[in-house]
Structure 1
Amino acid sequence: MEQVTAGEALAIDYAESEVLLDPAGAAYFADDRLLVVSDMHLEKGSSFARRRVFLPPYDTAATLARLAAMAAKYNPSTIVSLGDAFHDDEASERLGADAIAAIRAIASGRDLVWVTGNHDPSPPEGVPGVSVEMLAFGQTIFRHIAERDETGHEVSGHLHPCARLAREGRAVRRACFASDGVRLVMPSFGVFTGGLNVRDAAYDGLFDASRFRAYMLGTDRVYAVGPKGLIGD
């Protein structure tokens, strides 16, 4: 099972409150005691196995261990999973007893909210928590896919943002939070998920380029990088 490093979060000002961006890929809204993750893609391994593409069957346990570590670190009153928590619409039915017990332990004493995504449009079966299409919390809208006509603060997932930085002839590519201070796009939290470079056309029009930052995930800290230092794949 994956060991989770208790790295140092980066504090940013967002929607007139402090948000901690954790190097594990979770965001903690301190004023509201709200922990947000996105795109866990639980049971991706079993989904691939149904198509005879065999991956190590430990992704769900490892991802839930990471979520449990974040819950222990921040002790939130609410956890929001921002869509694609499950890799397909039947994935929650394939959860084993250990996974269900892990989710129950994570949810104990707090609210657990499942925002539906494009991979999991139906409410999950047999797990604690409530399912919603989107969530309005304070000044911020939480949804799976960013809406380009949204003018207020919006936190979304779906794109699995990553950033590539080149310096002194070397390049590094890491998952990242992507934000201009109004929109915040979360990195994917699942251990079997890839990433889409923030220079990809899929991000066009989402951010104010003059205020854009990629908050790249390091081993034990988060690095804020402006657009001039970023390159495509």
Structure 2
Amino acid sequence: MAISDTWLTEKVSQRHITITKYADYLWLLDARGVAYLPACDWLVVSDLHLEKGSYLRSYANPLPSLDSTATLTRLESIIDDYKPSQVISLGDSFHDKHSMSRMTFDDRQHLCRLVDSVNEWMWVEGNHDPDLPEGIPGTSCFEIVLDGMVFRHEPDEGEQRAQVIGHYHPKKRTTIARRRYSGKCFTNSESLFVMPAFGQFTGGLDIDEDVMLTLLPKRLRHVFMLYDNIIFKV
């Protein structure tokens, strides 16, 4: 762990980071869309969707194929700040099974350097990427268990342990002082914690949609919204 008390105090005062508790662990929720567990020195990120831009371009969508570069650059900056011993990429890290064949040589090298820069990098399987592409360092797994908490891509309705998931790309709309805001968010209940999507071209699912309300009813959920590099509870 590289962060200092001074650095953390400054980031909290600037609302770049907020501190919360889930499953008996303290979590640092970063406005850049990642979570950090100081007790384990773990950095958690979800839904990178690398090479989504090139995938959409192959279907005649006029998007620049720059999303992987932007996503990796943002992630590198965060890893430089926290210097975690382990990174958990919580599924849908690659947009599809052919992502690596479309990724530029520079981006591929950048990705490998990032993975090699930490002691351990865990690739949790997602619905977009059930198999880790060949030649990418790190360890692929279906889930990770920490005490009474399990990290996986999608929720298991029968699970009795606290779950940390991605998949849904949660976002929130709110009005403050008659101004409307919309942004990605972290949201959780006592037993389910949903990460925001990190990828450059990832959209979002409003947490007031029926599918999200079924998972996290309003009366049970906590919401931490990301907007303009700040994080605040709504």
> TM > 0.5 between the two?
yes
Q: After the TM superposition, which of the residue ranges 131-140 and 202-211 deviates more from structure 2?
A: 202-211
Which residue of 77, 81, 87 maps to 1:79?
87
Q: After the TM superposition, which of the residue ranges 39-48 and 124-133 deviates more from structure 2?
A: 124-133
Query: Which amino acid is the alignment partner of residue 144 of structure 2?
Result: L
Aligned length: 220
Equivalent in the alignment of 1:169: 178
Q: After the TM superposition, which of the residue ranges 100-109 and 170-179 deviates more from structure 2?
A: 100-109
TM-score normalised according to structure 2 size: 0.88
Equivalent in the alignment of 1:185: 194
Is 1:102 aligned to residue 81 of structure 2?
no
CA apart distance, 1:167: 3.6
CA apart distance, 1:202: 1.0
Which residue of 65, 81, 91 maps to 2:99?
91
Kindly, what percent of the aligned residue pairs are identical?
36
Query: Which amino acid is the alignment partner of residue 39 of structure 2?
Result: D
SS in 1 for 2:223: strand
Distance, in Å, in 1 between the alignment partners of 2:25 and 2:143 is 21
Matches within 5 A, 1:114-193: 114-193=123-202
Equivalent in the alignment of 1:33: 41
Deviations 1:108-134 (A, max 9, x none): 242111111111122222211111122
Say if 2:86 and 2:118, in contact at 8 Å, map to a contact too: no
Distance, in Å, in 1 between the alignment partners of 2:161 and 2:118 is 31
Distance, in Å, in 1 between the alignment partners of 2:118 and 2:89 is 17
Distance, in Å, in 2 between the alignment partners of 1:53 and 1:220 is 28
Deviations 1:133-183 (A, max 9, x none): 222133321111112222321110111000111244332111000111321
Distance, in Å, in 1 between the alignment partners of 2:218 and 2:161 is 17
Distance, in Å, in 2 between the alignment partners of 1:222 and 1:18 is 16
Q: After the TM superposition, which of the residue ranges 94-103 and 63-72 deviates more from structure 2?
A: 94-103
TM-score normalised according to structure 1 size: 0.88
The answer for unaligned runs of 5 or more in structure 1 is: 1-5, 226-233
Query: Which amino acid is the alignment partner of residue 147 of structure 1?
Result: D
Which residue of 11, 15, 20 maps to 2:28?
20
Distance, in Å, in 2 between the alignment partners of 1:66 and 1:120 is 21
Equivalent in the alignment of 1:231: none
CA apart distance, 1:208: 5.6
The answer for unaligned runs of 5 or more in structure 2 is: 1-10
Is 1:60 aligned to residue 68 of structure 2?
yes
Say if 2:84 and 2:118, in contact at 8 Å, map to a contact too: no
Equivalent in the alignment of 1:229: none
SS in 1 for 2:180: strand
Query: Which amino acid is the alignment partner of residue 165 of structure 1?
Result: T
Equivalent in the alignment of 1:51: 59
Q: After the TM superposition, which of the residue ranges 92-101 and 114-123 deviates more from structure 2?
A: 92-101
Distance, in Å, in 2 between the alignment partners of 1:34 and 1:127 is 20
